[in-house]
Amino acid sequence: MTSLASTTNHQIRLARRPVGVPVRADWSFTAEPVAPPERGGVVVKTLLLSLDPAMRGWMNEGKSYIAPVAIDEVMRAGGIGVVVASESAKFAIGDHVSGALGVQEYASFGERQLGRGELVGIDLRVGSPTQWLNVLGMPGMTGYFGLMDVGQPKPGETVVVSGAAGAVGQTVGQLARIKGCRAVGIAGGPAKCEWVVKELGFDACIDYKAGPVKDGLKAHCPKGVDIYFDNVGGEILDAVLTRLNRHARIIICGAISQYNNTEPVRGPANYLSLLVNRARMEGIVVFDYAERFPQAIAEMAAYLKDGRMKSREDVVAGIDTFPETLLKLFRGENFGKLVLQVAQA
């Protein structure tokens, strides 16, 4: 067992609740010695952290699907790490694990947390550490259960997904193709759109920066939209609402265009299209499907292996870059799943 006593754990904590786009002063940077593991617990060294749009919501006060991060608490983040000290029979030193490590270099899990399954082992033969944060992680599971359970795609249907080059979007579009649907992405800029079509095999991708999304939908969804997987909200949601087919399903996964609003959220003005088309808009929270993750991961891993599913991650190194790196999401600057590398494996 390595001596942790002389090791420092750098942490990033929420100093205050941001108004609009989070700025550096919304964070505090702390350092403390790494404590030995609790009885029955482990200490995990953080390798990679998942940066997700949902994090912005966790910084706000108020009721949501998960408690907000408290002021002065280490910022919540899912990640991949390696066990560096263990008093638990469940994990040995050197094991790779996935869990809510937080934005810090070392995370400690007690016996009770381990008993609740807050840390799970990952098999690097099934996927790389970054893939375990992407297709095999929360974004992949969100895309999987959002599309399959809420969307219920049927072969031949047209599936549109926004944030198509992002973590959830890339999964949704590729899975839609695998399930026999037409997959049309919406992404920002020609490079992302080209990648989505040429590398991921989407049928088409609409560059929302190049012209009205409505025109793109007309051109690329000649038979209308049966399923829309929404990661962005705002104007793009409104545009898709005008192209719905009868009995269409809209999966509300997120609304990244609205998360840093200082004004009220822009509601979908065209929501009465739901009435006209007997269509449905439904929210998904991935945690609800935790019991079925193993089965979905096995399915996705098989697609990775046979090449039908590809993944791309945008890896930025350095825990200190966290405040700025996070903002790439809201500027649409990440190309693939955004990952913060905290330490080398």
Q: Which is nearer to a copy of itself, 87 or 235 (CB)?
A: 235
Q: Which is nearer to a copy of itself, 59 or 103 (CB)?
A: 59
Q: Tell me which residues in 248-287 interact with a copy of itself (CB under 8 A).
A: 252-255, 258, 264-285
- Number of residues lying near a copy of itself (CB under 8 A): 33
* x/- letters, 209..238, toward a copy of itself (CB under 8 A): ------------------------x----x
Phi and psi at 27, nearest 5°, equal -115, 155
Query: Is 119 exposed, middle or buried, given 0-12, 13-18 or 19+ CB atoms closer than 10 A?
Result: buried
How many Cβ atoms sit within 10 Å of the Cβ of residue 183? 28
Give me the sign of the Cα torsion angle 184, 188, 194, 196: negative
Q: Shortest gap between Cβ of 144 and a copy of itself (angstroms)?
A: 16
137 binds a copy of itself (CB under 8 A): no
Q: Which of 58, 65, 79 is nearest to 11 (CA)?
A: 79
Give me the torsion for CA of 134, 137, 138, 144, rounded to 10°.
90
**Coil, strand or helix at 145:** helix
Interface region with a copy of itself, contact rule CB under 8 A, candidates 60-68, 86-94, 179-187, 321-329: 60-68
Q: Which of 242, 170, 179 is nearest to 199 (CA)?
A: 170
Q: Shortest gap between Cβ of 273 and a copy of itself (angstroms)?
A: 8
Q: Shortest gap between Cβ of 66 and a copy of itself (angstroms)?
A: 9
Q: Which of 43, 117, 50 is nearest to 82 (CA)?
A: 43
* x/- letters, 286..315, toward a copy of itself (CB under 8 A): --x---------------------------
Q: Shortest gap between Cβ of 21 and a copy of itself (angstroms)?
A: 18
The residues binding a copy of itself (CB under 8 A) are 63-65, 233, 238, 252-255, 258, 264-285, 288
